[in-house]
Structure 1
Amino acid sequence: MNTRIALATIILSLATATFSYAMPDMKQPADTVSVKAEPITGKAVEVINSGGYTYLLIENSDGFKDWVAIPETIISVGEEVELAAGYSMGDWKSKTLDRTFKNITFSGGPTDKYTERRKTNAHKGVNMSEPAPGNKKSEGKIIEGLKVEKAIGINAYDLTELFAKREELQNKVILVRGQVVKITTGVMNKNWVHIKDGTNNDINKLVITTQESPNNGDIVTFSGVLHNNVDFGGGYQYGVIMEDAVVKK
């Protein structure tokens, strides 16, 4: 039994390397662990977003259904997907969902081929992983890994807190403070600002729509409404976004 648990732990340690950031639930022991060598393909017949991750019930061409977990990604029910090969586990319990999956595969997410196909379909061949039709402001001095002090206020959150509480903060006005690391102006009559605050090993990043026009590298406090799973059409899809934000002095 100890040998089996040790093996599961080793394999799961390798599995987390396929993610851009590790899933906190993944380190718990499971009864069975196996490796899937081929990409996972099929139709997403059920989609659950929880705790920054997306759980997909995938139905393959033979009608077989199985669960797959990936870092949070906007995927619609009925969408044909192709996901990277992963690690399959039996009788695995998700703490965030308080649910035990009879079998689930942990994948790093969409394959490069599938990602490119989605971009092509959504944007007619134009790569718009960021808002491209607008004007990018000139680069300022961006300090990588900068730890930004949290905004002050009862409705203030750092980005780690924001993502953890995203569901309870839905449609609420909140304050966030961070370094501007990217800004694109004039897309759908909005400016699209990306901020980071150095939390979660500098992985966290939030997209904000605003009429304000800060410079790259600026440390800015924004007040705006938090929304989850927003689809603006034309490929503009966000799991978490702050909208109609204003700069607070």
Structure 2
Amino acid sequence: MKRHLTKTQRIFTDIILLLSSVLKTKKTMFKYIFIAVMVFGLISCDSKPKLVSPNAINQPAPGSQKQENSMPSADDQEVHQVEANEILHTERYTYLNVTEGKRKFWIATAKMDAEKGKKYMYRGGLLKVNFESQDFKRTFDTIYLVQQVIDSQQHPSGDMPASTETTSQSGKFAPAPKIEGVVKLSALFSNMAKYNGKTVKVTGEVIKVNNGIMGRNWVHIREKGNEKDLTITTNDVIQLGENVAFEGKIAHKKDFGSGYFYDLIMEEGKRLK
């Protein structure tokens, strides 16, 4: 049966044949063949254990289970506050066993200084199930690979209340007030560049509220028939499930730093009644 050689093996074979034809003595020939073998070994060998970089979380982790053990990424806008229970370090990464509410799990990120008992914040992350670590010779049942973990005391908002979400509460609150000149959310998302920098009015149902992040409240609203939700920063305190009207300035491709990036956001929103 004919054997198929890899590209590296073919190059190596060609080198041996070339050396055999040009070198006159067997002693010299064996000397150079030995050198070629050593070079080949150095090129093809890479035995150092590796861990997938949290900055490349969409790639399968070397030494871990296959990609089917990866779950979808967490909501890009979801903020988590956790407390560190246990900390493990490798040469390049830090693993933290954390608690969020009543739930305990692991997260992994680029190497950082961390302390047991301190509170940290992160956003998003890729869930890995049965993640095998060659560094620690163990399998993590559940672990999130995250890009950045921030000390909650160093974050502009300080301690951050856990995010809250609503299930369907339709009918519990009064309809949004009737406001003239309202722009539909579907129109905003279809023409983001057009509305960039403009002050507009919008209405919708509140589906998520994160209070006290970076000195402001973050309200997510959605209109019926539109799956996309608009994030609004405001000083107003809003309840989940409320039908609201807001006026504020639209920003397209807004980057607040620390991983807070939005394709579309309304800033300095004021509730209209």
User: Structure 1 length normalisation: TM-score?
Assistant: 0.46
Identify which of structures 1 and 2 has the higher relative contact order when contacts are C-alpha pairs closer than 8 Å and 6+ apart.
Answer: 1
Larger radius of gyration: 2
TM-score (norm 2): 0.42
